């Protein structure tokens, strides 16, 4: 017997949402001090419950200031930042050099519609020259990551004249209406039901989550069975993707995160990414790497896709670009970028000149201080520390990472891999209380993810590992997983 709309929908929405009362209770119970509490209650009084903040922590800390890889809340509590605002603050908090470059531009002229300015043109040059691939590149500006993704989708459809965008289950591409069509994330179900998904020309395939292979295989013995499934979809006449007899494809682009971010910092095998690119070439569609979260040196290469030696046609980038100001871009093949006319896409704060001035300084510091190589080196050190924790703690099923893009998956039993979801959420709260900010995620709510500012010191990594060791140990005691 199927439950009717009236009986089901309101009840389901209630389960997916949170009320001001329930959030206030959390603040009463978990707020980190009197000033935190006062501001959180004010937030709940005047700001919509639709923000992300309360979904990240039982009671989010109210930050006052930061320096490097440390942040401080309004009650003066110090935190090691293993979050970096979802990788925005790559060069650390309150970076004086970047802030001075931004201020210098603000003092000259902060913004004028979308008129070209020197800082914008210079950052476009730096980005274009940074993109892998032996072809000419150009840049298109936007403000948010979601908007950059939308530009990539529009461009791909415009350039190819085809509708379908291929992506992975578990990819995150933003929460604007069009980007939401590509994003698979539980809280967003609320916005795509009972209304059908926003964009019906999106086809999703499983991400190569090898620790829990969706096809029940083992990597590398599987010989990339999953990638072959996509190829098979093209060979069949019974999918939307292709008319094999007429040799006509219906796909505009594959738009993927090479390493899924919001799903839990998931690493794809590099040969899989290579095969995705080969299939894109074979069936003549655009390959887009969404590096909004893991580009700009995060993984120990400037662009994450470089690990696979693949040159994408387009890259979407945002977060770390200006170390704190909103700025995003699509970098891509010149012929694609120049295929449309003036004002094909626009928004008022596009290519904000002060943010671009910050971005130019970011590139200068990356070059001068070897930031990307540093991320690779410190990331290897951090991963080694996590692997040592895995050797000690039976609740760790997997520790993986590339550069300073790392995660740990928690299980109740290493054999059955039963996800330790409640335990992970318990740790997120305990970590904040112990002075570590990090992201919790995972397909089954059972991963902790680490993305500190790339300027984090090794001593700070050691300190964070010590706190993690303690919190994981306490969790194992509390839940009987020792
Ligand atoms: C991979 C990826 N793409 C797109 C977005 C959307 O960016 P924004 O939140 O700036 O719209 C995000 C944001 O987290 C992201 O991680």
Which value, to the nearest 10 degrees, does the dihedral of the CA atoms of residues 93, 96, 99, 105 take? -170
Per-residue confidence (pLDDT) for residue 8, from 0 to 100: 79
Is-contact 476 435, C-beta < 8 A? no
* pTM for this model (two decimals): 0.96
Helix (H) / strand (E) containing 450:
strand 447-450
Confidence band, pLDDT 50/70/90 cuts, at residue 182? confident
Is-contact 199 165, C-beta < 8 A? yes
- Cβ burial, residue 155 (10 Å; 0-12/13-18/19+): buried
Report CA(262)–ligand 1 centroid distance (Å): 9
d(CA 88, CA 324): 6
Is-contact 160 250, C-beta < 8 A? no
Beta partners for residue 243, in sequence order: 248
Report CA(172)–ligand 1 centroid distance (Å): 7
Select the more confidently predicted residue: 139 or 18: 139
Q: What is the mean pLDDT of the chain?
A: 94
Convert 34-51 into a string of H (helix), E (strand) and C (coil).
HHHHHHHHHHHHHCCCCC
Query: Which range, of 30-39, 165-174, 182-191, 304-313, averages the lowest pLDDT?
Result: 182-191
d(CA 353, CA 330): 16
For ligand 1, say whether the CB of 173 is within 6 Å of any of its atoms: yes
Distances (CA, A) of 202 to 182, 209, 250, 272, 312: 7, 20, 11, 20, 19
Report CA(52)–ligand 1 centroid distance (Å): 13
- Closest to 385 measured CA to CA, from 452, 298, 476: 452
Is-contact 389 472, C-beta < 8 A? yes
Confidence band, pLDDT 50/70/90 cuts, at residue 78? very high
Beta partners for residue 347, in sequence order: none
Q: Going by C-beta distance under 8 Å and a sequence separation of 6 or more, which residues neighbour residue 51? A: none
Is-contact 90 323, C-beta < 8 A? yes
- The widest CA-to-CA distance across the chain, in whole angstroms, is 69
Distances (CA, A) of 158 to 46, 163, 200, 411: 41, 9, 17, 45
Report CA(438)–ligand 1 centroid distance (Å): 17
For ligand 1, say whether the CB of 144 is within 6 Å of any of its atoms: yes
For ligand 1, say whether the CB of 290 is within 6 Å of any of its atoms: yes
Residue pLDDT, tens place only, 296-317? 999 999 999 999 999 999 999 9
DSSP 323: B
């Amino acid at each position: 017997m199927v439950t009717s709309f009236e009986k089901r929908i309101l009840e389901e929405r209630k389960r997916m949402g949170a009320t001001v009362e329930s959030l206030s209770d959390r603040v009463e119970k978990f707020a980190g001090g009197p000033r935190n509490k006062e501001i959180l209650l004010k937030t709940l009084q005047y700001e919509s419950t639709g923000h992300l903040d309360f979904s990240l922590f039982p009671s989010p800390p109210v930050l006052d200031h930061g320096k490097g890889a440390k942040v401080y809340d309004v009650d003066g509590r110090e935190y090691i930042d293993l979050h970096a605002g979802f990788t925005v603050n790559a060069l650390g908090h309150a970076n004086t050099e970047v802030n001075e470059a931004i201020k210098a531009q603000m003092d000259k002229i902060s913004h004028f519609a979308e008129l070209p300015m020197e800082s914008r043109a210079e950052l476009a040059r730096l980005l274009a020259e940074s993109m892998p691939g032996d072809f000419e590149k150009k840049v298109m500006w936007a403000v948010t990551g979601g908007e950059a993704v939308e530009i990539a989708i529009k461009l791909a459809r415009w350039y190819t004249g085809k509708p379908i965008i291929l992506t992975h289950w578990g990819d995150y591409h933003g929460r604007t209406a069009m980007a939401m069509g590509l994003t698979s994330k539980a809280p967003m179900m609320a916005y795509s039901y009972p209304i059908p998904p926003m964009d019906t020309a999106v086809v999703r395939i499983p991400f190569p989550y090898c620790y829990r292979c969706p096809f029940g295989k083992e990597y590398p013995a599987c010989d990339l069975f999953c990638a072959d499934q996509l190829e098979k979809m093209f060979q069949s006449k019974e999918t939307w993707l292709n008319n094999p007899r007429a040799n006509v494809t219906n796909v505009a682009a594959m738009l993927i995160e090479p390493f899924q971010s919001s799903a839990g910092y998931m690493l794809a095998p590099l040969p899989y990414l290579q095969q995705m690119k080969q299939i894109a070439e074979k069936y003549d569609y655009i390959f887009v790497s969404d590096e909004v979260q893991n580009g700009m040196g995060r993984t120990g290469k400037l662009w994450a896709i470089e690990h696979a030696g693949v040159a994408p046609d387009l890259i979407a980038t945002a977060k770390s670009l200006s170390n704190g100001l909103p700025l995003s871009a699509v970098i891509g093949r010149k012929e694609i970028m120049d295929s449309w006319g003036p004002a094909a896409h626009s928004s008022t704060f596009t290519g904000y000149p002060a943010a671009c001035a910050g971005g130019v300084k970011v590139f200068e510091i990356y070059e001068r201080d070897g930031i990307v190589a540093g991320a690779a080196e410190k990331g290897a050190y951090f991963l080694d520390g996590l692997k040592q924790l895995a050797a000690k703690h039976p609740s760790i099923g997997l520790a993986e990472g590339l550069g300073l893009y790392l995660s740990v998956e928690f299980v109740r039993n290493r054999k059955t891999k039963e996800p330790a979801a409640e335990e992970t959420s318990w740790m997120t709260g305990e970590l904040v209380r112990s002075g570590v900010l990090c992201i919790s995620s995972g397909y089954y709510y059972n991963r902790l993810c680490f993305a500190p500012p790339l300027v984090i010191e090794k001593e700070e990594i050691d300190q964070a590992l010590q706190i993690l060791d303690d919190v994981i140990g306490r969790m194992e005691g509390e839940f009987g997983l020792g």
